[in-house]
Amino acid sequence: MLKTLKIGFLQYSGVSTFQLLYKDTKDSLEDPKDRELPRKLLQPNKAGILNLEHFNHISNQKIIVECSDACGCSDSCPRRRLQQGQKKRLVVFYENKILGFGLRAAEPIKAGEYVTEYVGTVLTPRSNRDPSYDLGIEIVAEGLAIDSRKCGNLARFVAHACDPNAAFIETHSRIFETDPLIPRVSLYALRDIAIGEAVTICYYSRDKLASGKGIKCACRPGCPNHLPKN
């Protein structure tokens, strides 16, 4: 099962919990004594690069906030990466019998660059279905998941690695402020990814991986970890 990201609220009109959270965080960062607080909001720089140097892929409480019509910027603004769509060339590659299909870079990807979106059906996770392709949403809409098992894009093939080179990050993105705020998730590179290299994320926390139960992790020869069975 894909890693559950921590994020809070789905809204279609009016002031959302998220807007309040956003305001609180922004305000607190303006107070010098609070600058040490973990920063919740991420935005790419002018070159479209997200600073993920200190990204903790295990306890992820981060959300990317993209520009909208309220900013007055253009469609080519680097802070509209998800809105602009996938630009990186990627291939779905059959790795081996254990890993099945994975995703590989068909061109070099730099650390902090947007790779693609995790696409699927937004639903409430239920116990009687296969959650292997669920990506839990926790900031924009707590308790929902994006399921790419039957309907998704190539991000559904991203394999787990205990030392991953990419991460899924919830993304607050809408072109017009009046658009519905649907849960969306971006895939960003945590470090440079070479052409032909597998793009990987970490599905689980270190504790779960070290529990000794589940599928033996095949991220590298001799990896001692296990992917918990759902």
Ligand X SMILES: C[S@@+](CC[C@H](N)C(=O)[O-])C[C@H]1O[C@@H](n2cnc3c(N)ncnc32)[C@H](O)[C@@H]1O
Q: By three-state DSSP, how is residue 97 classified?
A: coil
Taking the complex as a whole, how short is the minimal distance between the CB of residue 18 and ligand X, in angstroms?
27
- Candidate residues 29, 41, 49, 99; the one interacting with ligand X per rule CB under 6 A: 99
Taking the complex as a whole, how short is the minimal distance between the CB of residue 85 and ligand X, in angstroms?
22
Closer CB to ligand X, 12 or 101, in the complex? 101
| Cα–Cα nearest to 181, from 73, 37, 21, 61 | 21
Query: What number of chain residues touch ligand X (CB under 6 A)?
Result: 16
Query: DSSP label at 175?
Result: S
Residue nearest to ligand X (CB): 100
Residue 100 makes contact with ligand X by CB under 6 A: yes
Closer CB to ligand X, 35 or 150, in the complex? 150
Residue 104 makes contact with ligand X by CB under 6 A: no
2's tokens: 């894909």
Residue 119 makes contact with ligand X by CB under 6 A: no
Site string for ligand X, 15-54 (x = CB under 6 A): ----------------------------------------
Residue 160 makes contact with ligand X by CB under 6 A: yes
d(CA 166, CA 153): 17
134's tokens: 């669920």
Residue 150 makes contact with ligand X by CB under 6 A: no
Contacts for 184 with CB less than 8 Å, ≥ 6 apart: 82, 117, 140, 170, 171, 172, 173
Residue 132 makes contact with ligand X by CB under 6 A: yes
d(CA 177, CA 54): 30
Q: Is 112 left (phi over 0), alpha (psi -120 to 50) or beta?
A: left
Residue 98 makes contact with ligand X by CB under 6 A: yes
Taking the complex as a whole, how short is the minimal distance between the CB of residue 157 and ligand X, in angstroms?
5
Reported as type and span, the H/E element at residue 227 is strand 226-227
φ and ψ of 170, to 5 deg: -60, 145
- Candidate residues 157, 168, 188, 204; the one interacting with ligand X per rule CB under 6 A: 157
Q: By three-state DSSP, how is residue 60 classified?
A: coil
Taking the complex as a whole, how short is the minimal distance between the CB of residue 113 and ligand X, in angstroms?
22
Binding residues for ligand X, rule: CB under 6 A, are: 2, 98-101, 132-133, 156-157, 159-160, 215, 217-219, 227
